[in-house]
Homo-oligomer: A and B are copies of this chain.
Amino acid sequence: MNGEPLTIGIDFGGTSVKLAVVFQSHIIDHAPPIATQEFDGHDELISEIVRSVEDLRARHPNIAAVGVGMPGFVDFEKGLVINLTNVRGWAEVPLKKILEEKIGLPVWVDNDANCMAIAEWKCGAGRGFRHVLFVSLGTGVGGGVIANGQMIRGACYGAGEFGQSSIDYQGLPGNYGNLGALEKYVGNREITASAHAAYAAVGILKSLDDCSPAALAAAAHQGDLIASDQWNEIGRKLATAVMNGCWLLNPEAIVIGGGVARAGALLLEPFKKYLFAQLSGNFKDQLRIMPAAFGHEAGVIGAAALARDFLVEGK
Contact = CB atoms under 8 A, between A and B. Distances in A.
A162 to B, nearest CB: 7
A310 interface: no
A155 B250 contact: yes
Contact of A248 (B130, B165, B170, B180): B165
Interface in A277-295: 277-280, 282-283, 285-287
A148 B150 contact: yes
A160 to B, nearest CB: 7
B243 A156 contact: no
A179 B282 contact: no
B155 A247 contact: no
B165 A247 contact: yes
B152 A147 contact: yes
A152 B148 contact: yes
Interface in A154-197: 154-162, 164-170, 176-180
Contact of A168 (B145, B169, B248): B169
Nearest to A161: B247
Nearest to A163: B247
- Select the residue from A178, A249, A285, A287 with max chain B CB neighbours within 10 A: A249
A73 B283 CA distance: 11
Interface of A: 73, 82, 130-131, 145, 147-148, 150, 152-162, 164-170, 176-180, 236-237, 240-241, 243-245, 247-252, 277-280, 282-283, 285-287
Given A161-B247, A178-B278, 8 more contacts: A131-B154, A152-B249, A157-B250, A165-B243, A166-B167, A166-B243, A179-B240, A245-B248
29 contacts: A131-B154, A131-B155, A148-B150, A150-B150, A154-B249, A155-B287, A156-B285, A157-B250, A158-B282, A158-B283, A161-B248, A162-B248, A164-B247, A164-B280, A165-B244, A165-B247, A166-B240, A166-B243, A166-B244, A168-B168, A168-B169, A168-B180, A169-B240, A176-B279, A178-B279, A179-B278, A180-B240, A248-B248, A248-B249
